[in-house]
């Protein structure tokens, strides 16, 4: 039996106090609506339909063709919103799953339960409900003496007795498609000037049908985003879910409430994440790493046994046993090979540091390629930009760069060469030689030293 998800996302979201459409506000790096779309797709295995209205073109430009769209030009309530999909869906599916683009915490298994219940139910409608002490504006589920659902009454329309009911309508339904469209035409305009989708429950009952109910236990799933306060509440729930999952998988967090992990991040077992650490984007962390405290790693890959503390890593690759910080900054294109050490207040951009290379503190390497076993003294800087273009610096294996050296690119330092402290290197340095001064000049030659060694044998 085919079920098509229909997500309602046409509201103005005025309580967000924002120029941005509500469903595009981000939670853990993704728009709210992406969470709802993902859960609906996974539950139904069908392409969703999104009902848009306010700022529809902005939503469409960001989401693209990953979803089908229908438009609600006049915002006349949820019943009217669903009705806009009739032309697209009539006769094209068996069931319609109605959910919302501003409810990012609803789980796939909840929606699947709703679909499966309706698939096995002889009536035309299955609804989702919950029992809570704080109604938070939800409509009340009204049952008869035998416990059968009779109607849903919106809070604003409820009598004092009905307001005491604590079974609430969650606003999500799975509905038989063949019954839905004619039933929607029976919905009457409310005193507020809207057509309520909730009226379908009473219409089904009046036609002699039973309404099935799936009750949900976790009320946090049903946090809808209407204000920035709701967004913060949803963040805390998703943070707890994510961090709990990783701790159960073998990751240590001493203070999980202070740790942020995006949904696409992968982490190896026995890694320790210290307070104040944020892992963002498609970051991959190996095993037995120690991250933080107060560290940001964004869209980067770290091997096993890496230590990164009080640092920022963006778009970088760290191989095994790399040590960074405190206060390091790895920018896009940085690649630190196995065993590299990068000291405090170092910065690397678009550069490769070979195995075992040590980079002292207060140094900057940009557009550089360093071999293995290189020593980068404190205060070393690659002068890679001439005001118009970036130029490359190449440092071969075993080079020793003295403190406060400036490497004016394009320049190449040969294998096992050395620079004196404070040198300004403007020309290529031959292998094994020593250069010092401003500009740097060769004061000993690797070739001469080799010849003297050969003569002494």
Q: Which residues are catalytic?
A: 361
CB-based contact 139:116 (threshold 8 Å): no
Nearest to 26 by CA among 36, 34, 17, 37: 34
Q: Which of 234, 252, 206, 205 is nearest to 100 (CA)?
A: 234
CB atoms within 10 A of CB 445: 14
Buried b (16+ CB within 10 A) or exposed e, 127-164: bbbbeeeebeebbbbbeeeeeebebbbbeeebeeebee
| 237 membership: H or E segment, kind and range | helix 228-248
User: Which 8-state DSSP code applies to residue 190?
Assistant: P
Q: Is residue 86 classed exposed, middle or buried when 0-12, 13-18 and 19+ CB atoms within 10 A define those classes?
A: middle
Name beta bridge partners: 425.
407
Contacts of 334-342 with C-beta under 8 Å, sequence gap 24+, read 337/372, 338/303
438 upstream amide cis, omega within 30 of 0: no
Sign of the torsion angle spanned by Cα atoms 243, 247, 253, 256:
positive
- Cα distances (angstroms) measured from residue 171 to each of 17, 114, 174, 188, 215: 24, 12, 10, 18, 12
- Name 92's Cβ contacts closer than 8 Å, sequence gap at least 6: 4, 177
C-alpha–C-alpha distance, residues 339 and 348, integer Å: 16
Cα gap 12→205, rounded to integer Å: 32
Residues 294, 312 contacting (CB under 8 angstroms): no
**Residue 136: HSE in the Cβ half-sphere, 13 Å Cα cutoff:** 17
Q: Give the distance, in angstroms, between the CA of residue 59 and the centroid of all CA atoms in the same chain.
A: 18
């Amino acid at each position: 039996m085919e079920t098509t998800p229909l997500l309602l996302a046409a509201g103005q979201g005025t309580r967000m106090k924002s120029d941005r459409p509500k469903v595009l506000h981000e939670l853990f790096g993704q728009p709210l609506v992406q969470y709802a779309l993902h859960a609906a797709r996974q539950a139904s295995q069908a392409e969703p339909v999104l009902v848009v209205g306010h700022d529809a073109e902005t939503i469409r430009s960001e989401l693209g063709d990953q979803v089908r769209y229908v438009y609600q030009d006049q915002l006349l309530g949820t019943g009217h919103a669903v009705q806009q999909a009739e032309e697209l869906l009539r006769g094209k599916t068996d069931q319609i799953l109605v959910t919302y683009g501003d409810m990012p915490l609803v789980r796939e298994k909840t929606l699947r339960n709703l679909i499966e219940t309706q698939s096995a139910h002889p009536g035309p409608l299955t609804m989702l409900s919950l029992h809570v002490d704080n109604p938070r504006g939800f409509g009340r589920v009204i049952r008869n003496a035998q416990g059968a659902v009779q109607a849903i009454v919106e809070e604003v329309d409820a009598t004092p007795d009905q307001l005491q009911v604590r079974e609430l309508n969650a606003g999500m339904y799975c509905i038989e498609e063949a019954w839905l469209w004619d039933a929607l035409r029976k919905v009457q305009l409310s005193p507020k000037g809207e057509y309520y989708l909730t009226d379908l429950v009473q219409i089904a009952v009046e036609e002699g049908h039973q309404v099935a109910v799936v009750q949900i236990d976790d009320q946090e799933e049903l946090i809808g985003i209407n204000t920035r306060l709701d967004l913060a509440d949803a963040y805390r729930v998703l943070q707890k879910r994510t961090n709990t999952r990783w701790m159960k998988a073998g990751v240590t967090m001493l203070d999980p409430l202070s740790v942020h992990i995006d949904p696409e991040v992968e982490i190896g077992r026995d890694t320790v994440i210290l307070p104040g650490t944020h892992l963002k984007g498609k970051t991959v962390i190996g095993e037995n790493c120690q991250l933080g405290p107060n560290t940001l790693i964004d869209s980067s890959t770290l091997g096993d046994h890496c230590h990164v503390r009080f640092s920022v890593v963006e778009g970088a690759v760290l191989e095994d046993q790399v040590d960074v910080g405190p206060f390091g900054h790895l920018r896009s294109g940085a690649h630190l090979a196995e065993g590299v050490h990068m000291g405090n207040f170092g910065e690397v951009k678009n550069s490769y540091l070979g195995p075992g290379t040590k980079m002292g503190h207060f140094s900057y390497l940009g557009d550089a390629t360093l071999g293995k076993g290189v020593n980068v003294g404190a205060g070393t800087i690659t002068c890679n930009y001439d005001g118009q273009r970036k130029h490359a610096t190449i440092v071969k294996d075993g080079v020793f760069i003295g403190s406060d050296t400036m490497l004016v690119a394009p320049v190449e330092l040969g294998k096992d060469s050395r620079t004196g402290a404070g040198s300004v290197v403007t020309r290529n340095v031959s292998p094994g030689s020593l250069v010092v001064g401003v500009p740097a000049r060769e004061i000993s030659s690797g070739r001469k030293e080799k010849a003297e060694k050969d003569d002494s044998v």
